């Protein structure tokens, strides 16, 4: 039952994302049809920098709905069920997650929290528990199979699996949903595992579409102050009125 680490890969994104957003924004203020300007956009008739300036200024004005037309799809693997339970709370998204009903977890990968890894006694107890879980899962599955449950035995045996059990998931979000996701999950108060995944996703998004994501990140990075209050602030940004 090996320890695993998170891996985030960008599988796909909307082709010509800046042009799509520019056309969508322009349609809101343009008497003509977006379809008529599309060939000119693809041919380079409207310089990228002009598109970028228009998109930046319009987003800054508070008009953000047209960025929903562009989506990013990520493969996130080697993460815990604790992380995916947090991830799927972001509801303006599509998810396809590895199923514990169908995937045999007898030799499951697991995620080891850094704080436990750094404490020898805690690590020894954690790894002993993981081994116990693996043994219990295998025993229960075998007993249920012998009782006639067949391949369905896994769906009941999975009830012993911990939140540390590794999982793989594909997630698709539009740009507006991603900005909201980054505001919450890049914050220093976010749980360490999902914070690491969010920061990797942000780096990948910036590489494709900096015009939208160059100022994305924790809520404080956009606001210029910490909205968490004196009790929870990390001190990176001042509190309101400070």
Distance of alpha carbon 65 from alpha carbon 25, whole angstroms: 9
Q: Is 189 a catalytic residue?
A: no
Catalytic residue among 56, 185, 189, 236: 185
Catalytic residues, by residue number, are 185
């Amino acid at each position: 039952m090996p320890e695993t680490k998170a891996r985030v890969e960008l599988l796909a994104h909307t082709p010509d994302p800046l042009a799509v957003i520019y056309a969508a924004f322009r349609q809101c203020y343009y008497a003509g049809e977006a379809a008529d300007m599309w060939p000119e956009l693809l041919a380079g008739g409207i310089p990228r920098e002009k598109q970028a300036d228009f998109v930046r200024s319009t987003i800054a004005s508070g008009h953000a709905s047209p960025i929903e037309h562009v989506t990013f799809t990520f493969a996130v693997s080697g993460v815990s069920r604790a992380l995916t339970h947090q991830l799927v709370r972001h509801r303006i998204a599509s998810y396809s997650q590895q199923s514990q009903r169908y995937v045999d977890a007898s030799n499951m990968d697991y995620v080891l929290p850094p704080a436990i890894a750094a404490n020898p006694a805690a690590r020894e107890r954690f790894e002993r528990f993981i081994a116990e879980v693996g043994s219990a899962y295998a025993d229960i599955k075998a007993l249920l199979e012998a009782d006639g449950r067949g391949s369905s035995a896994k769906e009941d045996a999975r009830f012993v699996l911990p939140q540390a059990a590794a999982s793989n998931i594909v997630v698709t979000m539009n740009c507006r949903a991603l900005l909201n996701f980054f505001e919450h999950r890049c914050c220093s108060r976010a749980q360490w595992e999902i914070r690491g995944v969010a920061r990797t996703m942000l780096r990948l998004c910036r590489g494709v579409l900096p015009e939208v994501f160059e100022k994305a990140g924790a809520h404080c990075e956009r606001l210029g102050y910490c909205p968490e209050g004196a009790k929870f602030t990390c001190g990176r940004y001042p509190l309101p009125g400070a």
